[in-house]
Structure 1
């Protein structure tokens, strides 16, 4: 029989006092928002990684590289979010099933789609994450946690930049000529 239960230092969902001097009631609200952002980040991370693996076509190399940079950026932001949740006295949502359950965005599934549809699906998640980050910046500001709101602002800048790049990839103008159909 496992003795893991006896060794638990902090149960998920519990919020402990923190050295940042943000009371547990306010910290609990912020941690809840951060865990949503963390879960959403990992849904996007896995979808971008999937598209990085499956991208094909004339723009393969450029998109392959962009998607790699994009999922790395998402992962860096997720790490910052998780560490902040922990610093506030919380437990970051960590397991894949818990993240999926917690996320407010949806992974497109295991099927492989054409590049344009894949990028449109990514852009949809980016948009939802952008809105969520803005809401959580406001929440953090209203609760007096200016460091969390500043961190989320920095992440928001990166997320918006990558969303803007995807928007450009989806424009009709391209150097690749489609074969004329007769």
Structure 2
């Protein structure tokens, strides 16, 4: 069993936080893959700006997933981020692979970001209740970046989403 470097948490809180972080890790990896799907296939007016933006956004998600995975391991857990695990565990709706229009990708991404940030906020509340301020802070950091990225993405559509 991996070593626990967060000994101040009670066992039940630690177990809950590992489970919570692994759930959000699956969502984060899934969302990063959806962003790359849009990045590769997007077409339309404003293509290049959105194409480049989505590369940055995917990087932000990968940074967030790395923070979550490392926190899980620090708590003595095992980070669960394989493609198979993500496909089975992500709570986000499947990203449509047949769309190409910029507005359609913007709408699909903003919808998933809204779901994602809602679940991050629920995780922040759960971490606060468990007395794990560091996990709450980590999720707040990821949420803050995700909300900003959703705003940037949504501002690139030609119609309201």
Alignment match, 1:63: 50
Which shows bigger deviation, 98-107 or 155-164? 98-107
Alignment match, 1:140: 127
Q: Which has the higher contact order (CA 8 A, sep 6+)?
A: 2
2:28 matched to 1:26?
no
Q: Within 1, Cα distance between the matches of 2:73 and 2:11?
A: 12
Determine helix, strand or coil for the equivalent of 1:81: helix
Q: How far apart are residue 24 of structure 1 and its match?
A: 2.2
Q: How far apart are residue 17 of structure 1 and its match?
A: 6.0
Deviation string 1:14-36 (CA, Å, 9 cap, x unpaired) is xx661211222111111111111
Q: Residues 15-164 of structure 1 correspond to what in structure 2 (within 5 A)?
A: 18-21=4-7, 22-164=9-151
Cα RMSD over matched residues? Answer: 1.6
TM-score (norm 1): 0.82
Q: Within 2, Cα distance between the matches of 1:50 and 1:26?
A: 36
Determine helix, strand or coil for the equivalent of 1:169: coil
8 Å contact kept, 1:27–1:88: yes
TM-score (norm 2): 0.92
Deviation string 1:101-144 (CA, Å, 9 cap, x unpaired) is 11110222432332111111111110111111101101111111
State the structure with more CA Rg.
1
8 Å contact kept, 1:37–1:133: yes
8 Å contact kept, 2:50–2:153: no
8 Å contact kept, 1:133–1:156: yes
Alignment match, 1:5: none
Deviation string 1:58-101 (CA, Å, 9 cap, x unpaired) is 21110111000011101100110111111111111121111111
| Count of aligned positions | 159
Q: Within 1, Cα distance between the matches of 2:137 and 2:67?
A: 12
Determine helix, strand or coil for the equivalent of 2:95: coil
